[in-house]
Structure 1
Amino acid sequence: MKIKVVWILFLSMCIIVCPSTTGAISMVKAVNMPEQQFIIAQGNLKIINAVSAVNHGGTGVITIQGRPNTQYNIKTSYKVGNKTVRVIQWRSTDKTGVATFNWIVGNDTAPGTYSATISGGGDILNINHTVLQY
């Protein structure tokens, strides 16, 4: 009887002391990224592949996993000389929830890191993309 009581007390203490992960923020490591970075997933939206640091003349790619058959957009801007160019692209996910945004970096695009926002399906995800120096 004493062993059962001690065992129950021990298990109770383990439950109280051990940290819970049920309320953890979902973080995913995007695969195939040239630089190590972690992106916070928002609801059903996460980055599954990205080439977001690009040289002039190169192609940037961001592949998302979201809700199936849902329209998503990416909004960003970049500098050309002293002008800021705003851009929006729309993509619909396939039946598995995957869609890819891509862009070519022009030779006149100013090097730097630019913010972008992907939204759709009720979720919003803020990310960065970088135009590298020559």
Structure 2
Amino acid sequence: MAQDKVETVELPRLGVSNALGCVTVQFIEGCPSWSVAVARVQAAADRSGMSVSVRSEMVATHEDAVRLGFTGSPTILVGGKDPFADGSQPASLACRLYPSSEGWDGAPSVADLEEALAAAEGAEDLGSPGPDVDRS
């Protein structure tokens, strides 16, 4: 069963009207990049002037990975969708790499996250933590 990591960070932006809902950073135990991903989501929201709640969620079993559509750690969900998925990755309890200007990195760049947040903000209301997925 996937367990929520006991860490939710609220990022209020006083005087800013742009308000995204929830961004979830999913990860596996021992992942060295999940905290980097959280920090970069926070930086992207700050640079974009958006208010987001960042929720972290540990994925513990292969069955959870399949059920959640988790394709590697860390996976970032914006409004319940993985903006970096290309549909070719199978569910996996493994590290995930993201393209960067210097090759590959363990988390998306702040600039790529800014683009993902802006695209999601323009597409829909992101008030919910994710799709209709049973997270129990």
With structure 2 as the length reference, what TM-score do the two structures score?
A: 0.25
Give the structure, 1 or 2, with the largest relative contact order (CA under 8 Å, sep 6 or more). 2
With structure 1 as the length reference, what TM-score do the two structures score?
A: 0.25
Which structure's CA Rg is the greater one? Answer: 1
Query: In proportion to residue count, which structure has more strand?
Result: 1
Query: In proportion to residue count, which structure has more helix?
Result: 2
